[in-house]
Chains A and B, each alone.
Chain A
Amino acid sequence: QLQLQESGSGLVKPSQTLSLTCGVSGGSISSGYYSWSWVRRPPGKGLEWLGYMFYSGSTYYNPSLNRRVTVSVDRSTNQFSLKMTSVTAADTAVYYCAREGPSVGGFDLWGRGTLVTVTS
């Protein structure tokens, strides 16, 4: 059974770059026409979709992030990544990776999430 697991630095200093990876286990990230996303939930707030890499390799990002986000897929290591530049305290959140399938609109599989705190 396919599973997603987020990993990365839990503490990031303001103005630096947040980097997270999502490992895909139990299957290949390359199989099927799946797309891969990142979502976050700041403390006390709702969920926010950040960005997306389609199976074709094209990407789309939430305009609210002002081009600070990059999503990439590394098929050789069976994982995908999130990079967010110029972070501030407002970027403190639980970050989730998620998969969207070709037949199910929206996300059909999620990771458990990882807390990232932006602090000096």
Chain B
Amino acid sequence: ETTLTQSPSFMSATPGDKVNISCKASQDIDADLNWYQQKPGEAAILIIQAATSLVRGIPPRFSGSGYGTVFTLTINGIESEDAAFYFCLQHDNFPYTFGQGTTLEIK
């Protein structure tokens, strides 16, 4: 089973900041990693697929990087609407596994 170690678990940012969220896999998963955003009471939304591909309709301030075992979600120019829970998912092998998630607070 692939363990995903996501950090930080909580972060606070000011509008306009650049933030990075890390997801590290316990084994090589190629680019089989997605990033999701979830707001309270809402369905999770796919924002980055295949490690680096921005999903249609997602603002370009979101970007993903990485391959193999180290991945990063970057939000460049945080906006207040970006306050949410973010998590990564590996779909390289079964069982699919998730990072523990990051709660992003906007000051």
Is chain B found bound to chain A in the same assembly?
yes
* Complex-state Cα separation, A102 to B6, whole angstroms: 27
Chain A count of residues within 8 A CB distance of the other chain: 25
Cβ B43 vs Cβ A49 within 8 A: no
* Complex-state Cα separation, A46 to B98, whole angstroms: 7
* Complex-state Cα separation, A48 to B94, whole angstroms: 12
Of the stretches A10-18, A24-32, A75-83, A108-116, the one at the interface is A108-116
Could you say which residues of chain B place their CB within 8 Å of the CB of A110?
36, 38, 43-45
Cβ A46 vs Cβ B99 within 8 A: yes
Cβ B44 vs Cβ A49 within 8 A: no
Q: Which chain A residue lies CB-closest to B6?
A: A46
Can you list 25 A-B pairs with a CB-CB distance of less than 8 A?
A4-B43, A39-B98, A46-B87, A46-B101, A47-B101, A48-B98, A49-B96, A52-B94, A63-B95, A96-B44, A98-B44, A100-B91, A104-B49, A106-B32, A106-B33, A106-B34, A106-B89, A106-B96, A107-B44, A108-B46, A108-B49, A109-B43, A110-B36, A112-B42, A113-B43
Q: Report A's interface with B, CB cutoff 8 A.
A: 4, 37, 39, 46-49, 52, 60, 62-64, 96, 98, 100, 104-113
7 pairs of A and B residues whose beta carbons are closest in the complex: A106-B91, A47-B98, A46-B100, A49-B96, A106-B34, A110-B44, A62-B95
